[in-house]
Amino acid sequence: MILPIYLYGSQILRNENTEVDLQDKEGVLKLIEDMKETLKVADGCGLAAPQVGVNKRLVIVDGRELSDTYDYLKDFFRVMINPVVLEESEETCEYSEGCLSVPGIYAEVRRPSKIKVEYYNENFEKVVEEFDQFGCRMVQHELSHLEGNLFVDNLSPLRRKMLARKLQAISKGSVQTRYKSRK
């Protein structure tokens, strides 16, 4: 089932996200299927459960469409349930980010270059994995949704000011998206 994606300004994107109940396999798998379908139709490279109105700690990350730019992403697809960041590098880097919840806005964001994350995959197996390069960036972007953060929160005051009108338009619902969205 394709779910509507909540946009910047929605309280649901800022709520606390609770742990997924790993005993409820049927419910979790259904949510994963819905999120995969939603992400595919929206043509994005990642989606966090709160973006589809579910305040749970679950994200999917799909870099496969980006393999023209980043060859190493050609098989990069992850479902991450109850992810926990174990380590972050001191070294940081900048990449341009966008978000299905913040349509039409792209900005350079600085984050740690490498992270190590523990999570459960869609087979409910515990995984510890290190990420670097753009894969790391996609994972970090999605994980920050689970803390109620959006990439535009991290910008310099000047950059935020430049984007203020666009952001306001999104939060007022006066922006068209090519996918089903909700305020």
Q: How far is the CB of 23 from Ni ion (least distance, A)?
A: 28
Q: By CB under 5 A, what part of segment 90-109 binds Ni ion? A: 99
Whose Cβ is closer to Ni ion: residue 40's or residue 91's? 40
Whose Cβ is closer to Ni ion: residue 52's or residue 99's? 99
Q: How far is the CB of 129 from Ni ion (least distance, A)?
A: 20
Task: Supply the residues annotated as catalytic.
Answer: 142
Q: How far is the CB of 98 from Ni ion (least distance, A)?
A: 8
* Residue ranges of E strands in the chain: 5-6, 46-48, 58-62, 77-88, 92-97, 107-112, 115-120, 126-131, 181-182
Nearest residue to 152 via CA among 99, 91, 95: 99
Q: How close are the terminal C-alpha atoms of the chain, in Å? A: 19
Whose Cβ is closer to Ni ion: residue 99's or residue 163's? 99
Whose Cβ is closer to Ni ion: residue 81's or residue 102's? 102
Greatest CA separation found in the chain? 46
Residue nearest to Ni ion (CB): 99
Phi, psi of 60 (to 5 degrees): -125, 145
- CA dihedral of 58, 62, 63, 65, whole degrees rounded to 10: -160
Q: Kindly give the pairing relationship between strand 181-182 and strand 5-6.
A: parallel
Nearest residue to 62 via CA among 24, 35, 34: 35
Residues forming a β-bridge with 129? 117
Q: How far is the CB of 97 from Ni ion (least distance, A)?
A: 8
Q: Using CB under 5 A, list all residues that contact Ni ion.
A: 99
